[in-house]
Amino acid sequence: MPEAQLRTFRPAVVMRRYVGRFAPSPTGPLHLGSLAAALASYLDARAHRGRWLLRIEDIDPPRELPGAAETIARQLEAHGLLWDDAIIYQSQRLSYYEAALQRLSARGLLYSCTCNRKRLRELNGRYDGRCRERAANPQGSGSALRVRVDQDPEVHYRDLLRGPQQADLRDTGDFVIRRRDQLIAYQLAVAVDDAAQGVTHVLRGADLADSTPRQIFLLRQLGETPPRYGHIPVMVDACGRKLSKQNQAPALLAAEATANMHRALTWLGLPPPGELADAPSAELICWGLERWSEILRDETATYNKNK
Task: Summarize as ranges the residues that interact with ligand GLU (CB under 6 A).
Answer: 23-25, 57, 190, 204, 208
DSSP for 130-150, please give it: GGGG-TTPPPSTT-EEEE--T
- Structural contact between residues 245 and 220, judged by C-beta atoms closer than 8 angstroms: no
Considering the complex, what minimum distance in angstroms separates the CB of residue 10 from ligand GLU? 33
Instruction: Indicate which of Zn ion, ligand GLU, none lies near residue 90 (CB less than 5 to 8 Å, by partner kind).
Output: none
- By CB under 5 A, tell whether 131 contacts Zn ion: yes
Instruction: Indicate which of Zn ion, ligand GLU, none lies near residue 131 (CB less than 5 to 8 Å, by partner kind).
Output: Zn ion
Considering the complex, what minimum distance in angstroms separates the CB of residue 67 from ligand GLU? 16
Among 113, 169, 177, 235, binds Zn ion (CB under 5 A): 113
Q: Cite the DSSP H helix spans in the chain.
A: 3-9, 32-47, 68-78, 94-106, 117-123, 186-196, 212-221, 257-267, 281-306
Instruction: Indicate which of Zn ion, ligand GLU, none lies near residue 24 (CB less than 5 to 8 Å, by partner kind).
Output: ligand GLU
Phi, psi values for residue 298, rounded to 5° = -60, -45
Intra-chain end-to-end CA distance of the chain, in Å: 36
The C-alpha atoms of residue 261 and residue 251 are separated, in whole angstroms, by: 14
Instruction: Indicate which of Zn ion, ligand GLU, none lies near residue 23 (CB less than 5 to 8 Å, by partner kind).
Output: ligand GLU
* Helices 94-106 & 212-221 angle (0-180, nearest 10): 70
Considering the complex, what minimum distance in angstroms separates the CB of residue 41 from ligand GLU? 8
Instruction: Indicate which of Zn ion, ligand GLU, none lies near residue 57 (CB less than 5 to 8 Å, by partner kind).
Output: ligand GLU
The C-alpha atoms of residue 179 and residue 244 are separated, in whole angstroms, by: 24
Instruction: Indicate which of ligand GLU, Zn ion, none lies near residue 55 (CB less than 5 to 8 Å, by partner kind).
Output: none
Q: How many CB atoms lie within 10 A of CB 55?
A: 22
Considering the complex, what minimum distance in angstroms separates the CB of residue 230 from ligand GLU? 11
CA distances, 36 to each of 64, 72, 153, 206, 306 (Å): 22, 14, 32, 12, 31
Query: Is the CB of 131 or the CB of 206 nearer to Zn ion?
Result: 131
Considering the complex, what minimum distance in angstroms separates the CB of residue 25 from ligand GLU? 4
Query: Is the CB of 189 or the CB of 261 nearer to ligand GLU?
Result: 189
Among 115, 206, 222, 279, binds Zn ion (CB under 5 A): 115
The C-alpha atoms of residue 64 and residue 60 are separated, in whole angstroms, by: 7
Instruction: Indicate which of Zn ion, ligand GLU, none lies near residue 115 (CB less than 5 to 8 Å, by partner kind).
Output: Zn ion
Query: Is the CB of 24 or the CB of 29 nearer to ligand GLU?
Result: 24
Please report, as ranges, the residues that interact with Zn ion according to CB under 5 A: 113, 115, 131
